Copies of this chain bind each other. A is one copy, B any other.
Amino acid sequence: MEEKSLRLGKLYGIGVGPGDPELITLKAIRILREVESIFAASSSSNEYSIALSIVDKHIGGRPVIGLPFPMTRDKEVLKRAWLENAQKVLGCLREGRDCAFITLGDPLTYSTFCHLMRTVKELEPTVEVVTVPGITSYHAAAAKLNYPIAEGDKGFYVVSGVNGGRHIKEALIKSDTVFVLKTYREFSNIKQVLEELQLLEDAVLVKKIGMEDEEIKRGVEDLSEDAKLPYLTLLVVKNSSA
């Protein structure tokens, strides 16, 4: 009886950039052309369709397999969904196929690729993972504003807005540049902190950077605390007194 020993496929995490289809790297494009299957998290229909349209511009016609996972904070439900998704990808890898998971921005910066990589590795520790970095939304926002991120002996912080203003306050005391990603849900609380620090006029709100409906707003003092902000919103805050 013959035994077929297949090599395990490689898992690639591919950053496709912040939204502008030109802000993808040559490496990302080459690998997407080489792999046998392409996956993406399909739970956020907005992100999914943008990532898809970027990939389609460069390797048009290739199918992208959506990995659904429920939008819930229930850890057990999430864990089960990620296990199922990881098993789906692992199925392909075990057939010897190289697989790519695409992500807007960078695969290791607030991306579901971190979950996928971890779960696949738990199921099959020998899987080789190769990550291809992507341009992040905050680099694209700074570029759009021609706004220095860091110079000389300074540093900068990237914080999640999910916690509201608390971390932002601590960060702003020590640094002159803070990027607040995921601003949308806790904007009211974040605005209060910016007001307290007298930074309302210095903050820049960037919505959907690099996309067709990109919006940039300097100063958030006149923005209602319960303003409806899109998911892909970030704040750039400069504290010139730091």
Contacts and interface: CB of A to CB of B under 8 A. Distances in A.
A165 interface: no
B108 A143 contact: yes
A129 B146 contact: yes
B147 A108 contact: yes
B107 A143 contact: yes
Contacts of A9: none
The interface residues of chain A, by DSSP majority, are classed as: mixed
A131 B109 contact: no
Given A23-B133, A26-B26, A154 B143 contact: no
Contact of A142 (B133, B149, B154): B133
The interface centre, meaning the residue of A131, A134, A140 with most chain B CB atoms within 10 A of its CB, is A131
A110 B171 CA distance: 19
A174 interface: yes
A143 B150 contact: no
B174 A170 contact: yes
Interface in A150-193: 150-160, 162-163, 167, 170-171, 174-175
A113 to B, nearest CB: 9
Given A108-B149, A132-B143, A135-B133, A20 B24 contact: no
A25 B24 contact: yes
Contacts of A152: 110, 160, 162
A156 B181 CA distance: 11
A70 to B, nearest CB: 16
Contacts of A146: 13, 108, 117, 129, 131
A139 B132 CA distance: 9
A166 to B, nearest CB: 10
The 7 closest A-B pairs by CB, nearest first: A155-B159, A22-B27, A131-B143, A133-B139, A133-B143, A153-B162, A114-B148
Given A23-B25, A24-B26, A133-B140, 12 more contacts: A17-B25, A24-B25, A25-B26, A110-B150, A131-B146, A132-B143, A136-B139, A152-B162, A155-B171, A157-B158, A157-B171, A157-B175
23 contacts: A21-B26, A22-B25, A22-B27, A23-B132, A23-B133, A25-B135, A26-B29, A107-B143, A108-B146, A108-B148, A109-B139, A114-B151, A131-B142, A131-B146, A133-B142, A150-B158, A150-B160, A152-B162, A155-B167, A156-B157, A157-B175, A170-B174, A171-B174
